[in-house]
Structure 1
């Protein structure tokens, strides 16, 4: 979008927060870069340049505005609704691949050379993978400096810097202030409290999103399908365990009108950026609800559903492999039965953890642990057991890869080749695990019942044809259709479980 200068100028002139994260405004007379909605951007077009990323602004020598804090915006939605090479690379960088494996590791995952990745990212984002990873580290560091009382040494570790000096130099370069001054400049208030970490490493942070956001089906779905031991709804928050690159964690996510409260307990602070990226992905917080709803509202059948509760998100996952295995366990059974079957698997084969604040007991089993099991030891119908063990084997040996870098169409096609894994399972995995915003499980019973209620065609072929008008946001149309039901997945729990 940054190449459409007239459109950018209109967004900046109207201070339109919808475009925050889509592009960044560099102000020549101040040497800073801002969100499109920043109130301090001068109106004179000759003083403004537009860049596709914060990293590109820094590459051009601009520092972050201290008023609008552009490095704390929601991420650009295009990286979650696109499936091309650049989008997959950006998602991998957000998941910390460059920090852990370097640019060669990023390139290997994408089947390209480092030079090709550098060229493609620089052409579209104005910065290469190292600069984008550095921007990610800086964003995490600034968040911790301004919202917690963590020592700078701990912040350097959490953000991925090699030393406090490297942290200090980078923050000063980006914001023109050293970390200590930046922390002093953000005076704590009841609305933005500073957080004293509870030993060993617990942090409370705020996750921003683009409004509107209707949390009912988002948190309702996660709570209603929660696997005992791995997930729970407690005291108004969705809590779950996380398997992370350097250890494990526990997260509690609580919806508020203008943010999601995120309380993270980590075994290793280096996992903080990855944990935050996965939580944002789980809750679909980088979506552009206005664009989605405008498209769906054009259909007279969906329009009243959108107007009643705009901003529905797609509940996704923090672990694509885990979700795929759970989808198979949930084939042709009720939500309650799926939870029971999965809980048995977790108790028998998951890694135990301690949770002083609640009832979480296990991490979901790894595919390596499940691949080592004798198939006969799995208590499930023979056909489903064959499907489950085949999927486990393909995931364990790398024949099938599920992750933020997955090619949506290719992966769906590979899933459909597995015995016993039909279109419903493949479509649900595409919708919630792969993150395809246009995934459409037309054979889903809930979708077909909703279609009947709304006067839409009910056969999969006819409904798929009717849904062509909803592209590229059919996954969001599914959320509005599901929400016509009184099923618990569509509502926040009335009382927290204890």
Structure 2
């Protein structure tokens, strides 16, 4: 790929895939930066904002290169680097340090540093430090919190470290980043970027159709829900906007901003590459008309892996409406139960057959890693080892909780109805064989099959 041609064309499709620094100004930008295109001899390319900062470049305050969609390759891949990126985005380094991140992944700190530096040009600490700076900038621009409060909320160990990092990344003291706008007490309003096109309405409708009373609501435009985050609970709301998804957050603890944003981005599949996905699927005439009418379909994911697994088990062989009713009885105080809370619920809280109730309790006690950094193959095997969980349930969890882009639920009744509507094979074995042409995007084909079944 000719990266210089990409930045000369200001191609937004590549935002988040690479960054470029300009040696004559000392600033680094995203590929779509609207500033004048620099001369080729003055351009350096970087695989991450952390690598650009490490090389001495400051973030452009016009295009905000740290506030772009993440690279779609981290969802496509399931290796240690991809799992590390997802965990760092969720704030694991801030909460547990690099030793905690390495322990979760089963690697030594040295091995992990070598892997990330080799691919991203910076180690886990530098990557987390750049994210802290972005979190701090967001809090400065969108809240009335004092700068000292913001420093510790963003994960910095001291105000001095905060000031030095912000000056290094943005080229100015933190106070200069504050915008003179009216801020509502307790609210943080953000613009969540994505690569266009995106069928935001279709995604929110999918979530709204499955909204659990007391936890989620959807009014046809705004999707709202409560979240359980590392330092407390939160209320979030998202809705379509021009060129982005508008989000409003109310956090019990400002330290949860980074994990809240990471989980919202995962829920809405905002880092997907719709051009690559739609181009691949449109090669099949069965999808061509639907892709033209509804480009940029995303896979609705999850804010919590255990919650997604509970939803999958409850949804076995019952309607969406029936599952919503059952799930609402499991929830208390507007939140999905944690594994420990679900395991302690009395029998009468489970409005379902005894065997399914015991499957949920076994799931709660199994301590299966369904986090953003989980190994997909290991998670699937652990799920299948539980009584009452078969391939459909395990694969549904992989698609929605772990972000596997290549899942096909060929035995699902809705899938088969959608296949029939599109003139495709409906027998599970035949449909599975036919769907080989959709790799590695079968999860996106799955959503289109469900849509065709409506």
Structure 1 window deviating more from structure 2 (232-241 vs 329-338): it is 232-241
How has the CA–CA distance of structure 1 residues 246 and 195 changed in structure 2, closer, same or farther, with 3 Å as cutoff?
Answer: farther
Q: Does 1:438 align with 2:406?
A: yes
Q: Distance in 2 between matches of 1:274 and 1:296?
A: 32
Give the structure 1 partner of residue 389 of structure 2: 421
Q: Distance in 2 between matches of 1:110 and 1:245?
A: 19
- 1:304-453 correspondence runs (5 A): 304-346=289-331, 350=332, 352=333, 362-373=334-345, 378-395=350-367, 400-453=368-421
Q: Would you say the 8 A contact 1:158–1:273 is kept in 2?
A: no
Q: Does 1:209 align with 2:204?
A: no
Q: Does 1:49 align with 2:34?
A: no
How has the CA–CA distance of structure 1 residues 210 and 377 changed in structure 2, closer, same or farther, with 3 Å as cutoff?
Answer: closer
> RMSD value over aligned CA atoms?
1.7
Q: Distance in 1 between matches of 2:422 and 2:296?
A: 20
Give the structure 1 partner of residue 242 of structure 2: 257
Structure 1 residue 446: deviation in Å? 1.1
Q: Does 1:151 align with 2:123?
A: no
Give the structure 2 partner of residue 295 of structure 1: 280
Structure 1 residue 171: deviation in Å? 1.4
Structure 1 window deviating more from structure 2 (415-424 vs 332-341): it is 415-424
Q: Distance in 1 between matches of 2:221 and 2:348?
A: 40
User: Cα deviations across residues 67-122 of structure 1 (Å, max 9, x unaligned)?
Assistant: 21111111111112210000000100001110000011001100111111111000
Structure 1 residue 474: deviation in Å? 0.7
- 1:132-171 correspondence runs (5 A): 132-171=127-166
Q: Would you say the 8 A contact 1:34–1:41 is kept in 2?
A: no
Q: Does 1:126 align with 2:111?
A: no
Give the structure 2 partner of residue 23 of structure 1: 18
Structure 1 residue 175: deviation in Å? 1.5
Q: Distance in 1 between matches of 2:244 and 2:326?
A: 34
Q: Does 1:197 align with 2:184?
A: yes
Structure 1 window deviating more from structure 2 (458-467 vs 235-244): it is 235-244
Secondary structure of 1:263 counterpart: strand
Structure 1 window deviating more from structure 2 (65-74 vs 267-276): it is 65-74
Among residues 67, 71, 74, which one is paired with 1:76 in the alignment?
71
Structure 1 residue 36: deviation in Å? 1.0
Give the structure 2 partner of residue 279 of structure 1: 264
Q: Distance in 1 between matches of 2:152 and 2:288?
A: 48
Q: Does 1:220 align with 2:205?
A: yes
Secondary structure of 2:218 counterpart: strand
Q: Distance in 2 between matches of 1:388 and 1:377?
A: 12
Aligned residues: 454
Q: Distance in 2 between matches of 1:39 and 1:27?
A: 14
- 1:415-494 correspondence runs (5 A): 415-486=383-454
Q: Would you say the 8 A contact 1:33–1:63 is kept in 2?
A: yes
Structure 1 residue 443: deviation in Å? 1.2
Q: Distance in 2 between matches of 1:30 and 1:123?
A: 26
Structure 1 residue 420: deviation in Å? 1.6
Among residues 7, 11, 28, which one is paired with 1:12 in the alignment?
7
Q: Would you say the 8 A contact 2:329–2:351 is kept in 1?
A: no
Q: Would you say the 8 A contact 1:150–1:197 is kept in 2?
A: no
User: Cα deviations across residues 189-232 of structure 1 (Å, max 9, x unaligned)?
Assistant: xxxxx45132xx32121111111111232101111101111111
Calculate the TM-score normalised by the size of structure 1.
Answer: 0.88
How has the CA–CA distance of structure 1 residues 195 and 125 changed in structure 2, closer, same or farther, with 3 Å as cutoff?
Answer: farther
Structure 1 residue 376: deviation in Å? 7.3
Among residues 97, 102, 108, which one is paired with 1:107 in the alignment?
102
Give the structure 2 partner of residue 266 of structure 1: 251
Task: List runs of 5+ in structure 2 lacking aligned partners.
Answer: none
Structure 1 window deviating more from structure 2 (363-372 vs 264-273): it is 363-372
Structure 1 residue 41: deviation in Å? 5.2
Q: Distance in 2 between matches of 1:265 and 1:442?
A: 40
